[in-house]
Amino acid sequence: MDKVLNFKQGRVPLLISMPHAGVRLTPAVENGLIPQAKSLPDTDWHIPQLYDFAAELGASTLAAEYSRFVIDLNRPSDDKPLYVGATTGLYPATLFDGVPLFEEGREPSKEERATYLEQIWTPYHDTLRNELARLKAEFGYALLFDAHSIRSLIPHLFDGKLPDFNLGTFNGASCDPQLASRLEAICAGHANYTHVLNGRFKGGHITRHYGNPAENIHAVQLELGQCTYMEEFEPFRYRADLAEPTRVVLKELLQGLLAWGEEHHKR
């Protein structure tokens, strides 16, 4: 494998993780996909662009290069299900719509998938874990923001239209409840958008595994409705006219994280 991730170290105690931003495919995956999957419809499109203000905030960023169709970096390595009901696994077998992802008999082999685990999943999580450890060692605490997006209408996964901002803290286990309340209040201050805390999306493996308030590591996932910044169907065009107001809220959320951290972890 060549480059499997894009990591930029920042200067404040915040890491933004983007595990589903990748669009690269391995030959085995690309050759096996059904025609309607070749456009990578379940990608968290344009997330690095949407959060490109992270550098001015001083946040570290970590983004995947390979598609979740190769291996899902937000699933545990043992592939235990995270949600009851319809979901996708470490090696996705279906599109979000429930349609099989691969042509019959053309899935990557077990050996190929073991390589993906070793050479894509493991480096991402090693980088994530090491950066959180560095931040905690330097600042006494670390903040993790797991940045995602999804089509706002997917009947196979959830009923009705998804709220615009879906905050997840694994039902309060991955971050201090006061921090979650502050982020909720920021969302509530923007009446043009809808929001929910721990609704359909409570946080995936990254949020659940790394968030540990007792150890001063606070993790939050945001599942953002793609209708807030892009066209949700092929060619999945970024819409600056939609994105700019959304970026205002995203920036406030990250600034809120940092401000809360400074207030509650003064040395």
pLDDT tens digits along 158-185: 888 999 999 999 999 999 999 999 999 9
Cα of first residue to Cα of last residue in the chain, in angstroms, is 42
Give the residue from 164, 137, 166, 170 showing the smallest Cα distance to 152: 164
Structural contact between residues 211 and 144, judged by C-beta atoms closer than 8 angstroms:
yes
Domains and CATH numbers, the chain: 5-264 (3.40.630.40)
pLDDT tens digits along 52-63: 999 999 999 999
3-state secondary structure of 213: helix
> For residue 91, which amino acid is it?
Y
pTM of the predicted structure, to 2 decimals: 0.95
pLDDT greater than 70 at residue 259 = yes
Structural contact between residues 225 and 192, judged by C-beta atoms closer than 8 angstroms:
no
